[in-house]
Structure 1
């Protein structure tokens, strides 16, 4: 059994820089032997939930600019699995969730950056899934619920995003986390561990500093998807917490 996890992927630089978060990802990945990985990435937005469906090696997408050439030389040669992608689609359809398959798109940095630190050499199929940031949190949670039980099949579900992701609020001179970001994560951790879904679904009005922490929800909603995919009888566990440039959160939670 492999618990679903939400991880913060932060800057693409984490692919080549060693930080407390990358050290955590490597150590955590070494403990796992998944048969496959299903990853919801904040950097693939679609109106209809879309699943990568290929048996080939994915193209590595460099969906960023202004970074060192070294980043653009990285390849993450993970393969897909059409049969598993179709199986996931059937799960969503059974719950009335519209779904599409995509045979062309490669892995964006929301996928290959954290996966390259967890599993430097890809050894199992990877299925990338898009997100729709305009759906409410309760619907994101329902998307995750459709995948419950995959943990019993040793399929690792990953939500890749960030709980606090406001690039305009980054503090490049910070020597410790910004208090407002910590307060938001504190609220989130407490309500997640308490399984207070009502509060979590209404985070925008109930959480402190919500508008600062989540100016746009595409990085935040993978948390709800991952939460929904976990066993509700199993308590959520904070497995890593660190920050960069004041407020960029690398909070990671297993469900």
Structure 2
């Protein structure tokens, strides 16, 4: 009998998460071993956005995309050679189309750092077939909830569905004091608001977070890093059962929360 895995939302923070010690990094290093081994992984990353319709990667050997600049050479040297999963990609396309989405197929799209950074910590052997699916630029949280709902049946096949973003993400206000910089109130108030809404199953308020959450636009000048949270919720059928697996902050303004939905 296939184990039904939770869907996950993971805050991937800075690409330096792959190298720099922090509570979030230590959490991710332990997380893979705490979950039943998935047959495959499907990742929705904040760093692959398409317009109008989702895209699914069919790459048989996805390249490791270093989609950033100004970091140490050691970061660019990291490779994450997980195999692709064209069969799971085809299943995802079918499920998305059944849910009313038009779908783009990408033959070559690799894994951006929103995917490979957390996966390199969770599953360092890079031996689990992995598929990346895009989020939708400019689409609402509700549309991303629907996106997760569309592929939820993959969980019945042992597939781990991950939304990878960041619970808060305003790079304009990064603290120069370092990774353990003091957390400003406008960041902590926002992440506490999100947790309270999840804990109390207040999905409608979450979907309207930009109007209802404190300092929403300051924490997310653009919302692509929070949209994977709604994908993860949708993949589990909502907020029937949720758990905050981790909470910490980096550089003052990056909340590194991780949630499981089942």
Q: What band does the TM-score fall into relative to the shorter chain?
A: over 0.9
8 A Cα contact 1:51 1:128, kept in partner? yes
- Which residue of the partner structure matches residue 132 of structure 1? 136
8 A Cα contact 1:15 1:116, kept in partner? yes
Q: How does 1:1-255 map to 2 (within 5 A)?
A: 1-32=4-35, 33-47=37-51, 48-55=53-60, 57-173=61-177, 175-232=181-238, 234-255=240-261
User: TM-score of the superposition, structure 2-length normalised?
Assistant: 0.94
Q: Which runs of 5+ in 1 are unaligned?
A: none
- Deviation per residue, 1:22-54 (Å, 9 max, x gap): 111111111231100000011111112001102
8 A Cα contact 1:45 1:130, kept in partner? yes
User: TM-score of the superposition, structure 1-length normalised?
Assistant: 0.96
Runs of 4+ residues deviating >4 angstroms: none
8 A Cα contact 1:163 1:220, kept in partner? yes
- Deviation per residue, 1:122-144 (Å, 9 max, x gap): 12110001111311111110111
The offset of 1:171, in angstroms, is 1.9
Distance in 1, matches of 2:176 and 2:185, equals 15
8 A Cα contact 1:63 1:109, kept in partner? yes
8 A Cα contact 2:186 2:215, kept in partner? yes
Distance in 1, matches of 2:57 and 2:229, equals 20
* RMSD between superposed Cα atoms in Å: 1.2
8 A Cα contact 1:110 1:161, kept in partner? yes
The offset of 1:233, in angstroms, is 6.7
Q: Which runs of 5+ in 2 are unaligned?
A: none
